[in-house]
Amino acid sequence: MQSFSHIQADAAQQMLKDNLATLADIRDANSFEAAHIEGATHLSNESLSQFMAATDKARPIIVCCYHGISSQQAAQFLVQQGYEQVYSLDGGFEGWRRAFPYVSQG
């Protein structure tokens, strides 16, 4: 069975800057609304089917959570759904914010 990969914030930032990946943020809606990585899509149980219908399975997906733990389970789920390149953001949103302090607010 295929598995997801881990990605560091700097490599993820470069992929996103070059529009080579989609960023899925699985944190709760209030946290996402308060601050998120620019260009992120909020992915929840409610938005999952819409996300899957709109996202090409060949396009790389980077999954982000709070600290890089729960994103691993979500990333593996997406692999099981047929997505070919799925990454879990090491350090999650908090790690990203330490590396790149400017994030989208509200």
Amino acid at position 1, single letter: M
Give the number of domains in the chain. Answer: 1
Q: What is the pLDDT along the chain (106 residues), one digit of tens a residue?
A: 589 999 999 999 999 999 999 999 999 999 999 999 999 999 999 999 999 999 999 999 999 999 999 999 999 999 999 999 999 999 999 999 999 987 776 6
**Is 65 noted as a catalytic residue in this protein?**
yes
Q: Whole domain around residue 95: which residue ranges?
A: 5-105
The H-or-E segment that residue 25 falls in is strand 22-25
pTM of the model: 0.95
List phi, psi (to 5°) of 70: -70, -20
- The token duo for 27 is 């944190």
> What's 38's domain CATH number?
3.40.250.10
Catalytic residue among 16, 37, 65, 79: 65
Cα dihedral across residues 40, 36, 42, 86: positive or negative: positive
Residue 87, pLDDT score: 99
Q: Which residues contact 63 (CB under 8 A, 6 or more apart)?
A: 4, 24, 26, 43, 71, 74, 75, 78, 86, 87, 88, 89
